[in-house]
Amino acid sequence: MRVALLGSGRGSNAEAVLRAQQEGRLGKAQVVGIYCDVPDAPMLQLGPKFGTPAFYLDPGPFKTKFSPEQETFWADALTKHQVDLVVLAGFMRVIKAPLLERFAGRIINLHPTLLPAFPGLDGIGQTWRAGAPEGGCTVHWVTAEVDGGKHLDQSRVARGTSDTQESFAQKIHQAEHALLPKVIAELAEKFPQR
């Protein structure tokens, strides 16, 4: 199963997936490209580090979404690279058609809360400010509804009495780094062979 990692920042979740691949924990999945919408994002440096092609793709003029033309451009690029599964790992844009149409049922997202609680931006901050006794992360299918797709798996993280928001966030990030590669490997097991 050919996997594309899409992100917008430092790429810690992408790095966790690439490290899992390096250690043989991705099973039948192979990361075939890192795709980033920020030209100087540290995520792009993961390409040379892990021997994986890394691409900056122009997202167009908007900050949190694509222009229709640029979304078609991204969909074309992923199609050209024969991507089977699109993984949103810290990707800060809302996905719509044509990506959703072209890759229907083949896009997953990692969200840093126990969905359906606290969808959208700053999930960890939302969880913290609400005083929730636990947080965590969810891998789910991407649909037109932001953070609304069917859940594939979740990981729970207790909020300790000595936790600060930063230490709580760190525990959630560790859970993310374990959960995302696990879900990708599980999906690859079920993926039809070429």
Among 111, 151, 173, 177, which one carries the catalytic annotation? 111
Q: CB neighbours (10 Å) of residue 167? A: 12
Whether 151 is catalytic: no
Q: What is the pLDDT of residues 59-98, one digit of tens each?
A: 988 888 888 899 999 999 999 999 999 999 999 998 998 8
Cα(111)–Cα(154) distance, integer angstroms: 10
Structural domains of the chain, ranges and CATH numbers in brackets = 2-190 (3.40.50.170)
Q: What is the pLDDT of residues 125-167, one digit of tens each?
A: 999 999 999 999 999 999 999 999 999 999 999 999 999 999 9
Q: Does the predicted TM-score (pTM) go above 0.85?
A: yes
Q: Nearest-CA neighbor of 6 among 135, 136, 119, 94? A: 94
